[in-house]
Amino acid sequence: MLKSQINVPDEDSMQKGTFAILKNVNESELLVNEMNGICILRWSGRVDIETASELLTLGAAAVMLKGYKKILVDRRRLLEFDNEARLWIDNWLKTKAKNISKDVEKVAIINSDSPFGNIFNNAFNSTISLVMPHLTLQIFSNHIRAIRWLSKAK
């Protein structure tokens, strides 16, 4: 059986349409690539509860209704989550995400570059591992490597 070739997008091709922007809220984005079943949650700047709840709720719907089974959480541009957003995300991960995660094959994470954003990296990654231990999870420093890993067959 022949495997189809998968083009791994770089930053330029992501902007040219390889990934469609499903939603942009306060500079944070939810992007999807239907062909490869990849959903990208790209956090940027200071994330408030409105941004967090809107993007995570829409991302969950993409997984459950549209069959996106590979997720990239890109926090390179994250400065910080405000307190309300942090609490909401923690609760969401422990309740809703646990049920959604059974449909997910892989999760790639790119940690924040900012010092304040790094505070959330370990807590977020630990919560995911604790709540969803069955997930295949890998941390990357580069979005191209993360997308390449997600694009490979499980």
- The full 3-state SS of 4-73, as one line of letters, equals CCCCCCCHHHHHHHHCEEEEEECCEEEEEECCCCEEEEEEEEEECHHHHHHHHHHHHHHHHHHCCCEEEE
Amino acid 145: pLDDT: 93
The answer to whether 47 touches 40, Cβ cutoff 8 Å, is no
Residue 101 tokens, joined:
């995660």
Angstrom distance (rounded) from CA 80 to CA 114: 8
Amino acid 15: pLDDT: 41
Amino acid 10: pLDDT: 52
Angstrom distance (rounded) from CA 111 to CA 126: 13
Q: What pTM did the predictor assign?
A: 0.82
Counting Cα atoms < 13 Å in the Cβ hemisphere of 109 gives 18
The answer to whether 56 touches 89, Cβ cutoff 8 Å, is yes
pLDDT tens track, the chain, 154 positions: 333 333 445 554 444 448 899 999 999 999 999 888 999 999 999 999 999 999 999 999 988 888 899 999 999 999 888 999 999 998 888 888 877 777 788 999 998 877 766 667 767 777 777 777 778 889 998 889 999 999 887 6
